[in-house]
Structure 1
Amino acid sequence: MTVYHFVGIKGTGMSPLAQILHDMNYEVQGSDIDKRLFTQQGLEERRIPFFSFNKENIKPDHTVIAGNAFPDTHEELDAANKLGVPVIRYHRFLGDFMQKFTSVAITGSHGKTSTTGLLSHVMRGAHPTSFLIGDGTGKGVENSRYFIVEACEYRRHFLSYYPDYAIMTNVDFDHPDYFSNVDDVFDAFQELALQVQKGIIACGDDEHLQKIQAKVPVLYYGLNDDNDFQARNVEKSSDGTTFDVFVRNTFFSSFKIPTFGNHNVLNALSVIALCHYENIDLAVIKEQLQTFEGVKRRFSEKRIGTQVLIDDYAHHPTEVKATVESARQKYPDREIVAVFQPHTYTRTQTFLDEFATSLQLADQVYLCDIFGSARENQGKLSIFDLQAKIDGSMLINEKEIERLKRHENSVLLFMGAGDIQKFEEAYEKTIK
């Protein structure tokens, strides 16, 4: 029996893929750095063995699945090549594996993870469903009808996929270390659109997605009047959001979601559209939408003393704005305090003004030092450049984190894609 050995098993896509194969009774193991990462929780729960990187980990009966972050010269990949062991890159393996099911690829510059989590939750209320979410969560179900996967546009990795369906949430300029501008990003999505086999569910409120060309039907969803699936009468409260859905101007049904902000209405609408297309029972859709508890690192809340602490992966100005607005909807009477760690120098430099505009929606802003990437050059940019654009903002580090105590009854938003969690953990320690 083949053993699948994952090089970089703690990766946000690799960990859930290992979990899926394990759930489907494949033999799985892997290796990675020793540092504890939040993605290893699912591996530990399943008792999937993983080791420190070492060329001795590779055995002749293995098939190696390699994370995209590791070059062919990595000691384990080099050992595999010398032994003649098959080496398959993560996105190539996943692209082939998806073909066994009715597959749905969920993509977009923002909202991928939340929408993948939501669709997986709704679909599995109706049929056996396997899913891979980019927050480190994966589940494999034998005899699955559906396979739902978060598909990332970075370095055009999603072009390894030929899914039955694609949900496209939006097109925005991000990953400036790879894409040259928003047109370059759109070109990647356009290329994926031509690989979709059955249908595309696209956000019609997005000006770029209105131009998508495909060989299959494109259904549009959104808040604007000219969408195939439109949300009307959106009512927001501190315990969630209700809205009516119209299908081509005909009333379909009313829905309630326990989440906040227009972006979550749009995510739910994309799920409703796909489920409608696949004839999923309406009662199941409604019930599952209301019981969705969210995904990791997306508006994850805990209460400590008089404060609400929220951990969120927001690392682009559009996402920062959405997170602050969600906090305002849920906690209209509380002070909103943003604690933000910029992720990569290239992104910070490219969106310096936009970050300042989004962060100023909070009542108070604290800035952590920029979390750089090994792939980039810092140049002359520093966190002071962002601070200078935000009135009243302050710099903060782990040693000074207890300054946040002065914000009684506030909502503390810890936002970023680096290691912002260490700031939240340091703060929790000072309180306890």
Structure 2
Amino acid sequence: MTVYHFIGIKGSGMSALAQILSDMQYDVQGSDVDKVFFTQKPLEKKGIPLLPFQKENIQEGQTVIASAAYNEENEEIREATNKNIQVHQYPTFLGDFIQQFTSIAITGSHGKTTTTGLMAHVLQDAKPTSYLIGDGTGKGEQGSEYFVFEACEYRRHFLHYNPDYAIMTNIDFDHPDYFKDVEDVFQAFQEMAMQVKKAIIACGDDEHLQKLTAQVPVLYYGFNEDNDFYAKDVTTDENGTHFDAYVRSSFYGSFTIPGYGSHHVLNALSVIALCHYEEVELETIQKRLQTFQGVKRRFSEKTFGNQVLIDDYAHHPTEISATIESAKQKYPEKEIIAIFQPHTFSRTKTFLDEFANSLKSADRVYLCDIFSSAREKSGDLTINDLLERIPDAEQIHEDTMYRLLRHDQGVLLFMGAGDVQKFQAAYEKTAEKEGA
């Protein structure tokens, strides 16, 4: 049997794909740097060999898949070239792999990961479903009918895919190190739309997505009643968010989701629309939406004494606003504290004012230093540029986390795409030492 060898297996997409192939009984191994990443835990659990980078890992007869993060400077890629072994780039391999299923690409500037997890959770109760989530989660079901996967727009990677369906959650300007402006982002999505084979399900409340042209039907969802699928009568309580869904002005069903915030209702609507199109039973959709537990690093909560600690990947102003809105709806009586680590100098500089405005909706704001790769130059930007735009905001370090003890009944939102978890870990250590 062919051995699948993954170069850079600890990457979130790579890890998820390796898990899928392993579940489908293929022989899988991979290599990466020695540093520990959360994505390796499920690989170790499945007994997938994790090797250090070395040319000896490359053998004749393997199918070699490489992360986009590695090129000819990597000794394994050079060795494969020397042995005339084809190296499949991750997006290219995935684009070919999905063709054996009814494939559902989940894309958009925000909400991809949660929507992918939600779609997989609902569909797998209807028919055998495999899925690949951008948080490093992958599951391969033998005899799968559906393949649900997160399709990232960064560097136009999603143009490697020709899916049956595409869910498009929104279009926003992000990744300023690659995209020029929001029009450039839109053009990428427009190209993606032309590659979809059956139908596109897009958020009609998004002004950019309204301009899409495609060769397949485009079904719109949202709160506006002009959409094909829309939500009305939204209410919240301690059990979550409740709403009624309509299909082209006809009442379809009442739904409950555990999440809070309008973005969660929109994510659920996109799933309802796809399932309706694929004739999944209403009762199945209702039952599964209600039991979704979320995905890694998306509003991941834990009770800590009298406080609630939340770890969230939010690293764009729109995402920060949505996360704070969720916290306020779920905990209306509590103080909401934002602890934010900006991710990359280029994003921080581009969205400086927008970051400040979104963070101001929290009751108090603490800022960690900007997380950036060694390759990125800071220019003259520092965390102070953001601090001075937010009244009463304070900078916080791992050794000054004791300041958060003053919010003894608060909800602490640790937000960022870098290593903001280390600040939460430092806080928990400090609090336990202080006997809080």
Q: What does residue 121 of structure 1 align with?
A: 121
Correspondences of 1:15-164 after superposition (within 5 Å): 15-164=15-164
Letter in 2 for 1:201: I
State the distance in 1 between where 2:27 and 2:402 align: 46
Distance (whole Å) between structure 2 residues aligned to residue 39 and residue 95 of structure 1: 22
Q: 1:163 is paired with a residue of what secondary structure? A: coil
Aligned positions of 1:278-289 closer than 5 A: 278-289=278-289
Bigger mean CA offset, 136-145 vs 33-42: 33-42
Q: Is the 8 A contact 1:199 1:216 kept in 2?
A: yes
Residue 317 of structure 1, CA deviation: 0.1
- On the 8 A contact 1:300/1:310 being kept in 2, the answer is yes
Residue by residue over 1:336-390, the C-alpha shift from the partner in whole angstroms, topping out at 9 and shown as x without a partner, is: 1100000000000000000000001111111000001244221000101000101
What does 1:170-185 correspond to in 2, within 5 Å? 170-185=170-185
Separation of aligned partners in 1, 2:429 and 2:32: 28
Q: Given that residues 244 and 253 in structure 1 are in contact (C-alpha distance below 8 angstroms), is that contact kept between their aligned partners in structure 2?
A: yes
Letter of the 1:228 counterpart: D
- Aligned-partner SS, 1:366: strand
- After superposition, give the CA deviation of every residue in 1:53-110 in whole Å (9 maximum; x if it has no partner): 2222212232210001112221110111112222000000000000000000000000
- How many residues are treated as equivalent by the alignment? 432
Query: Could you tell me which amino acid in structure 2 is paired with residue 393 of structure 1?
Result: A
Letter matched to residue 389 of structure 2: K
Question: Distance between the aligned counterparts of 2:106 and 2:62, measured in 1?
Answer: 30
Partner AA of 1:281 in structure 2: E
Q: Which residue pairs with 1:402 in the alignment? A: 402
Instruction: Determine the structure 2 residue equivalent to 1:204.
Output: 204
The answer as to 2:351 corresponding to 1:351 is: yes
- For residues 142-164 of structure 1, the C-alpha deviation after alignment (integer angstroms, 9 at most, x for no partner) is 10000000000000000000000
Q: Write out per-residue CA displacement over residues 372-423 of structure 1, whole angstroms, 9 at most, x where no aligned residue.
A: 1244221000101000101100001111112211111100000000000111
1:108-146 superposed Cα distances (whole Å, 9 cap, x missing partner): 000000000000000001100000000000000010000
State the distance in 2 between where 1:157 and 1:402 align: 42
Q: Which amino acid aligns with 1:256?
A: T
Look up the equivalent residue of 1:227 and give its one-letter code: N
Q: What letter corresponds to residue 290 of structure 2 in structure 1? A: Q
Structure 2 distance, partners of 1:71, 1:87, is: 10
1:5 is aligned to: 5
Distance 1:52 1:430 in 2: 35
Hey, what does 1:369 align to over in structure 2?
Answer: 369
* 1-structure distance, mates of 2:406, 2:57: 51
Match status 1:245 vs 2:245: yes
Partner-residue secondary structure (3-state), 1:13: helix
| Kept after mapping to 2: 8 A contact 1:238/1:331 | no
For the 8 Å contact 1:307–1:411, the answer to whether it is kept is yes
Q: Name 2:222's counterpart in structure 1.
A: 222
- More displaced, 367-376 or 334-343? 367-376
CA contact (8 A) 1:414 1:421 kept: yes
Separation in 1, partners of 2:41, 2:212: 38
Report the more deviating stretch, 214-223 or 50-59. 50-59
Q: In terms of mean alpha carbon deviation, does 134-143 or 51-60 score higher?
A: 51-60
- In 2, the alpha carbon distance for the partners of 1:388 and 1:239 equals 39
> 1:336 maps to what in 2?
336
TM-score w.r.t. length of structure 2: 0.98
| Aligned 8 A contact 1:364 1:392 in 2 | yes
| 4+ runs deviating over 6 angstroms | none
Report the AA paired with residue 379 of structure 2: G
> Structure 2, unaligned stretches of length 5 or more?
none
Query: AA paired with 1:171?
Result: I
Query: 2:373 & 2:263 partners in 1: Cα distance?
Result: 28
Q: Which whole-Å deviations, capped at 9, do the CAs of 1:30-55 have from their partners, x for residues lacking one?
A: 01111111111211111111112222
* Counterpart residue number, 2:385: 385
**Matching residue of 1:296:** 296
Q: Which residue identity lines up with residue 385 of structure 1 in the other structure?
A: D
SS in 2 for 1:132: strand
Give 1:165's aligned amino acid. Y
If the length of structure 1 is used for normalisation, what is the TM-score? 0.99
User: How many Å separate the matches in 2 of 1:60 and 1:145?
Assistant: 32
SS in 2 for 1:301: strand
Aligned CA RMSD, in angstroms, stands at: 0.8
Q: 1 CA distance for matches of 2:47 and 2:420?
A: 28
Separation (CA, whole Å) in 2 of partners of 1:429 and 1:84: 52
Residue 326 of structure 2 aligns with which residue? Answer: 326
SS class of match (1:30): strand
Q: Which amino acid aligns with 2:259?
A: T
CA contact (8 A) 1:130 1:148 kept: yes
- Give the conservation status (yes or no) of the 8 Å contact 1:340–1:367: yes
Q: Residues of 2 paired with 1:68 and 1:340: CA distance?
A: 28
2:426, 2:5 → 1: CA distance?
Answer: 35
Distance in 2, Cα, partners of 1:191 & 1:179: 14
1:268 corresponds to 2:268: yes
Gaps spanning 5+ residues in structure 1: where? none
Whether 1:14 and 2:14 are equivalent positions in the alignment is yes
CA contact (8 A) 1:16 1:139 kept: yes
Cα distance in 1 for partners of 2:389, 2:47 equals 48
Find the counterpart in structure 2 of residue 424 from structure 1.
424
Give the SS at the match of 2:246. Answer: strand
